[in-house]
Amino acid sequence: MFHKEGAKIILISTSLTVVIFLLSHKFVDILWLEKTIQLVTLFFLIMILQFFRNPKRTVELNENHIIAPVDGKVVVIEEVFEPEYFKDKRLQVSIFMSPINVHVTRYAMSGKINFSKYHPGKYLVAWHPKASTENERTTVVIENNTFGEILYRQIAGALAKRIVNYAETGTQVVQGEDAGFIKFGSRVDLYLPLGTKINVKLNEKAVGGKTIIASK
């Protein structure tokens, strides 16, 4: 299964692959060169298909859990000052996605969307300390009865050129459902209330919709 955000590029890439295969077979007389062109083209098509894959995952809804919003590696767990919405200290957990990770963003918990805002910005590498405040990004705040408000931020990386955010202020969302997509390498930051029990460690691999990031 592939994400709907990849439909156009998958169609174009598949069509180009077919055209290149046909043209190389017809006009390239050197067999090894023809096969090399075809293999390289096929490799890029496979990479695009892999990037836009959207595996179906069964999420066990639990109001006492905050689940990973994306696939990737936990690169930050620390107490920080969140300047945009809370304007106070929060526990930050950041997950870095490489180009080979699934790039679907999922809601980390069920609740009401209290805030959703897009910010244009730079394209620093996603692990850069200033990426969360200077890169292109979206900020979304969800509230439920267990945790109160939590904030997650989709952050574009050096390769990411488009962030898709489905969260709309005032709507109710369900834990694990599709919240958006980030095209190519990127990062998602979670900002949780101080005192929240963190269930992951640095460099741990998180699975979106499955890994329990924090719990009550």
Selection from 208, 189, 216, 204 nearest residue 90 by Cα:
189
Per-residue pLDDT tens over the stretch 151-202: 999 988 766 567 899 999 999 999 999 999 987 668 899 999 999 999 999 9
Percent of the chain residues past pLDDT 90, beyond the cut: 70
In DSSP terms, 89 is beta-bridged to 81
Does residue 59 form part of some domain? Answer: no
Number of structural domains (the chain) is: 2
Does residue 35 form part of some domain? Answer: yes
- Examine the residue annotation and report whether 186 is marked as an active-site residue of this protein: yes
Alpha helices in the chain (DSSP H): 7-27, 31-51, 131-134
- 28 with 78, same domain: the answer is no
Cα–Cα distances (Å) from 67 to 59, 60, 91, 153, 209, in that order, read 9, 10, 15, 15, 6
Average pLDDT (55-80) is: 94
Does residue 57 form part of some domain? Answer: no
Q: What's the pTM value of the predicted model, to 2 decimals? A: 0.86
Does residue 56 form part of some domain? Answer: no
- 104 with 28, same domain: the answer is no
Residues 6+ away with beta carbon under 8 Å from 143 = 111, 112, 114, 149, 150
CB 180 within 8 A of CB 53: no
Per-residue pLDDT tens over the stretch 116-125: 999 987 766 6
Q: Quickly state the pLDDT bin for 3 (edges 50, 70, 90).
A: confident
CATH of the domain at 91: 2.70.70
- 29 with 118, same domain: the answer is no
* Per-residue pLDDT, 89: 97
Mean pLDDT, rounded, of the chain: 91
- 30 with 92, same domain: the answer is no
- 209 with 178, same domain: the answer is yes
- 115 with 195, same domain: the answer is yes
CB 68 within 8 A of CB 208: yes
- 36 with 72, same domain: the answer is no
- 107 with 132, same domain: the answer is yes
Q: What are phi and psi of 172, to 5 degrees?
A: -95, 135
Q: Which domain holds residue 42?
A: 4-51
Q: Write out the E strands in 121-177.
A: 137-144, 148-156, 163-165, 172-173
Choose the catalytic residue: 13, 94, 132, 186: 186
pLDDT at 210 over 80: yes
- 142 with 181, same domain: the answer is yes
Q: Distance between CA atoms of 197 and 101, rounded to whole angstroms?
A: 26
